[in-house]
Structure 1
Amino acid sequence: MMQHSPRTRFDRKHCRVIRVIKRENRPKKEKIVKTLQEFNEEKEKARVLRKERELAKAKKALDKYNLDLNYRFLHDQISDLFAELLKSDIGNLNSGKHNKISLAAKWCPTIDSSYDKSTLICESIARKLFPRESDPEYEGIEEAHYVYRIRDRLRKQVLVPLHKALELPEVFMSANEWNSLPYNRVASVAMKTYKELFLKHDNDRFKEYLENVKSGKAKIAAGALLPHEIIGALDDDDGGEVAELQWKRMVEDLAKEGKLTNCIAICDVSGSKVITFSANPELHKVEGDTLLEKTQFVRKMEWGMNTDFQKVFDRILEVAVEGKLSEDQMIKRIFVFSDMEFDQASARSEDIEEAYEGSEDIDENNWETDYKVIMRKFREKGYSKVPEIVFWNLRNSSSTPVAAKQSGVALVSGFSKNLLTIFLEGGGAVNPEDVMEIAISGDGYKKLVLVD
C-alpha cells in the first residue's frame, strides 16, 4: 500500500479546508455584491431626484422672474450691482490697484450653492459680465453650453483671483495658515468677530499688529461698525484693545469726511464734551484716557426723564460770554440723543411761564415760545444766530412731533449709520426736507419712477 508523506496529507487537508471556506464565503460575497448594487441603485436614484429638484428650482426661479415684475426688478438690480462691482474690481486687480478692490467677490453668492440654484443669480451676473457678443466663441453654441461656459469663467477668471487678492481671513483660517494672515486686510466686522481666535492661534503676531496700529505704522478697519457695536466690545477677552483702536479709526474717518464743526451733544456720546440730559443740565468734559474710561465716566453722570432746553442754551451762552467767543466760534449745532419724542423730552422753564403769563405771545407750542426767548437772549449778547437742534430719537417711531418747518429743529428717528452719514456728508443739514432730499439723492433711487 502506498504511503503518503505527512506533507502530502497536510496539503490535501489544507485544500479541503480552503474549499469549505470558499463555499462558506460564497454567500457572503454574493451578499456584498448585492449590497453594493443596491447602494449604487439608491445612489443613482438620489442623483436623479436631486437633479429633478434642481430643475424644479430653476423652473420656479425662471417663472418668478418672468411673471413677478417686482421680483425681476430686484433680481436685476442685485445682479447689475454685482456685475458692475466685479468688473471694476477685476480692472483694479489687473492694474495693480488692490486697495480699491471692493468686497463684492466675498459676498457674491457661491456658484451652485443652494441660494444660486434657487435664484439663478450667478447666471444673471455671468451673463452681464460675459454677454454673447463679447466673445466670438459664444456665437452659434447652444444656450446650455453658453451658460456653462460663462458660469465657469465667473468662477475661474473673476471670483477665484479676487478672493486671492482680497486675502480674506477665512481662507487663511480654514487652511490653518495663521502665521500668514494679513491683519491689515481684515474687515472691521471680521476683526470684531475673529479677534479672540487671532489671539488664540497667532498671539504674538496679532499683538505686534495692534502695537503697530497704535504707533501709526498699520491701520485697522472700522467702517462697517456702528458706535454702539464698538462700545459693546469693550468687555471682550482682549480687554477692549481692538475696540479702542477701531473707535479711534472711526472718529478719524468721520472727521475727515464730515463737514460738521462746533457741535455739542446732549446725550452720552460726544468727542470731548456733553451736556447732561436732565432738568438741570450741566456741561461736562468727558474724562478718561481710554474709550472704556470715557464711557464709564459718561454713565455715571446725572440724567433725568427730560431736559430744560432753555437752561441748555443759557449754559452755552454763559460759557461763550465768559470765554469771549466770536460768532464763528459759537456752537452751531446741538445734537440731542434720546429714546423719547421731542415733546416728551422738553421741559419748560419756570421763568418762561412767569415771563409770558397772561401774554398773547405764549401759545400751545412750547418750543416756539422757548425759541423766541432763546433768540432774544442771544441777540442781547451779540450773537445773531442761535445754535440749531437736531433731535435724534434713537427709538424707531412713525410719529412726527416736530413739523418740517419748525424753527431751529430737525427730527431724526431711528438708529443707523446711514442717518449719521447723511448728516456728516450733507454738512449737517437740519431742515427735515433737506435731510430727505439727501437721503434719496443716491444712485439707487434714480431709477425709481413716481406714479401719481
Structure 2
Amino acid sequence: MFPPGSEDNHLEDYQKSIRALAKLRRQVLKPLRTALELPESYMSRGQWSTLPYKRVAKVAMTMYEPLFQLHDGPRFQNFQDDETLAGAGGGPAKPKMIAAAPLHQLVHIMQSWHEHKPPTREYVVREWNKEFASLHTKGLFSNCLVIFDSVMRKGPNIDKLIRVGLGLSALISGLSQQGLPWGNRVFAFRGDVQFHVLPFLPQTQPLTPESLTHTLNTINNIQCTVRFNLTPIFEWILSMAVAQDIKETDMVKTIFVFTNKEFDETSVPTIRGKPSPEEMATRKPFPWHHEYVQLRRKFKAEGYANVFPQVVFWNLQGQHSAAFTTTDDGIMKLKGYSDAFLRIFLDLGGVVEPEDEMYASISSAKYQDLQLID
C-alpha cells in the first residue's frame, strides 16, 4: 500500500493507518455495499426512492424503519402492504415485523388504517379476530377489569408500549363476561372511577376494520391523570356486586393495569368526594397495605371474602427486556416487555408466575438446542 519511493512513504504510522482506512472504505467497502445493495449505501447518497427494501435485513429494518417512514413514507408503506399479502400461491402471509411482534404492530396498522391498502386492513382484522376467538374459546380473561394509562410518561419505545397497552385493553375488555357491570369497559388510570363503554361487542360479532379502529380510538381517548388510586375501583366493584346480587363465580377475579409507571410512585391515598387533578397530582405516594386490609374487610362483610380481586400491575417500561414478577398484598407487579412474555401472558390468562417468566426468557430460537444435564 505504501511502496518505497511513494509520496506517502514518509508519513508517520498513525497517518498511514488513517489513509489506509480511507482507501479501504473507498476502494473496498463502498463497492461491496453497492454490490450487496445494503441500505446504508443508498441512505448516505440520499437515494431513498430507489432503496431496495426487499434486500434490507430484519435487524436493519427495525433500526431504520423510522428513517424509511420519514424520507420515503408512501413507497415504504406500499412495500409493507405488499409483504403482508405476499405468500405462496398469492395467499396472505405475515410480514416479518408483524410476525415478530403481533399485537403492537396490528394496533399500529389499525390506528393509521387509512394509509394502508384494504387487503392489508382486512388481513390485520382477521388476525385480530382469530386471536380473540382463540382466547374466548379457552375461557381466558372472562372475569376481568382493565385499567389503561393513556398518558404514559415519555421514554424509550413509548409509542410501541402505548400500542401494547391499547391492544391488551381492547382484547381483555372484550373478553370480559357480557351483562356484568365491568364487561366491555375500560377504566381510566386516575384517582376516581371513570370508564368508557366500548362501542362494539366482539363476542357476538367479529370486528371489522372500522369497528376495531373505533374501539382503539375510544380507549386511547380516555382521560387519565399522573396519579391513580385503586381503592375507588374496588369500592365500585363491591357496590355493583351488592346492588345486582352478583354471584361469587361471576365476580371480578383480576384487575389489569397497563402503564409505564411504578405502582409505589403513582398510588395515592383515598380522597373522599371529587378531588381536583391538582389535588391528585400533589398527593404523596401511599403504602397500599393499609388500603388492602380495609378493602378485604369490606368484601368479607358483604359475603365476598373468597373472591377478592387480584391486581396485575404491568409497568411496560420497566428496567428489563423481559418482564419479571413480584407479588405483595394482592398486587402482582410485572416490569418490562418482551414479545415472548406477551405470548405467555395471553396464553396463561394474565396471571404469570416466576417460572413462567423463566420459560419466556429461554423460548427464543437460540435456546432451542439447549440441554440441561443433571
**Interval of TM-score (by shorter of Structure 1 and Structure 2):** 0.5 to 0.7
SS in structure 2 of the partner of residue 266 of structure 1: strand
| CA deviation after TM superposition for structure 1 residue 258, in Å | 6.6
Change (3 A) 1:223 1:250: farther
State the AA in 1 paired with 2:104. Answer: H
SS in structure 2 of the partner of residue 181 of structure 1: helix
- Paired residue for 2:190, among 278, 285, 299? 278
Task: Determine the C-alpha separation between the residues in 2 that align with 1:446 and 1:343.
Answer: 40
Greater Cα radius of gyration, structure 1 or 2:
1
- Cα contact 2:146–2:257 (8 A) shared by 1: yes
Residue matched to 1:15: none
| CA deviation after TM superposition for structure 1 residue 241, in Å | 3.5
Task: Determine the C-alpha separation between the residues in 2 that align with 1:383 and 1:448.
Answer: 47
Task: Determine the C-alpha separation between the residues in 2 that align with 1:392 and 1:261.
Answer: 19
Task: Determine the C-alpha separation between the residues in 1 that align with 2:341 and 2:139.
Answer: 13
Task: Determine the C-alpha separation between the residues in 2 that align with 1:274 and 1:242.
Answer: 26
Q: Identity over the aligned pairs, expressed in percent? A: 25
State the AA in 2 paired with 1:232. Answer: H
State the AA in 1 paired with 2:145. Answer: I
Residue matched to 1:392: 314
SS in structure 2 of the partner of residue 233 of structure 1: helix
State the AA in 1 paired with 2:144. Answer: C
SS in structure 1 of the partner of residue 127 of structure 2: helix
Change (3 A) 1:229 1:264: same
- Paired residue for 1:377, among 291, 298, 308? 298
SS in structure 1 of the partner of residue 248 of structure 2: coil
| CA deviation after TM superposition for structure 1 residue 224, in Å | 5.1
Residue matched to 1:348: 269
- Cα contact 2:312–2:351 (8 A) shared by 1: no
Residue matched to 1:327: 248
Residue matched to 1:311: 232
Equivalent positions of 1:71-150 (< 5 A) are none
Whether 1:300 and 2:218 are equivalent positions in the alignment is: no
Deviations along 1:354-397, whole A, 9 cap, x unmatched? xxxxxxxxxx9711112111111111111012111111111132
- Paired residue for 2:107, among 231, 256, 260? 231
Residue matched to 1:187: 93
Task: Determine the C-alpha separation between the residues in 1 that align with 2:344 and 2:103.
Answer: 16
SS in structure 2 of the partner of residue 187 of structure 1: coil
Deviations along 1:74-124, whole A, 9 cap, x unmatched? xxxxxxxxxxxxxxxxxxxxxxxxxxxxxxxxxxx9xxxxxxxxxxxxxxx
SS in structure 2 of the partner of residue 350 of structure 1: coil
Change (3 A) 1:405 1:292: closer
- Paired residue for 2:135, among 233, 237, 254? 254
Task: Determine the C-alpha separation between the residues in 1 that align with 2:361 and 2:220.
Answer: 36
Task: Determine the C-alpha separation between the residues in 2 that align with 1:255 and 1:341.
Answer: 30
State the AA in 1 paired with 2:132. Answer: V
Task: Determine the C-alpha separation between the residues in 2 that align with 1:446 and 1:405.
Answer: 32
- Cα contact 1:223–1:250 (8 A) shared by 2: no
Change (3 A) 1:416 1:226: farther
- Paired residue for 2:199, among 287, 310, 317? 287
SS in structure 2 of the partner of residue 404 of structure 1: strand
- Cα contact 1:321–1:381 (8 A) shared by 2: yes
Task: Determine the C-alpha separation between the residues in 2 that align with 1:333 and 1:254.
Answer: 16
For structure 2, list consecutive stretches of 5 or more residues without a partner in the other structure.
Answer: 1-56, 58-81, 149-165, 175-183, 201-209, 273-284
- Paired residue for 2:341, among 416, 419, 424? 419
Change (3 A) 1:337 1:428: closer
- Cα contact 1:258–1:425 (8 A) shared by 2: no
| CA deviation after TM superposition for structure 1 residue 279, in Å | 1.5
- Paired residue for 1:265, among 132, 137, 146? 146
Q: CA RMSD in A?
A: 3.7
* Normalised TM-score (structure 1): 0.44
State the AA in 1 paired with 2:346. Answer: L
SS in structure 2 of the partner of residue 188 of structure 1: coil
Q: Which has the bigger relative contact order, CA under 8 A and spacing at least 6?
A: 2
State the AA in 2 paired with 1:411. Answer: K
Give the paired residue count: 232
- Cα contact 1:257–1:424 (8 A) shared by 2: no
* Normalised TM-score (structure 2): 0.53
Equivalent positions of 1:426-437 (< 5 A) are 426-431=348-353, 433-436=354-357
Change (3 A) 1:420 1:320: farther
Change (3 A) 1:312 1:403: same
Deviations along 1:383-415, whole A, 9 cap, x unmatched? 01211111111113259xx98341211121223
- Cα contact 1:188–1:224 (8 A) shared by 2: no
More helix by share: 1
- Cα contact 1:332–1:386 (8 A) shared by 2: yes
| CA deviation after TM superposition for structure 1 residue 254, in Å | 3.4
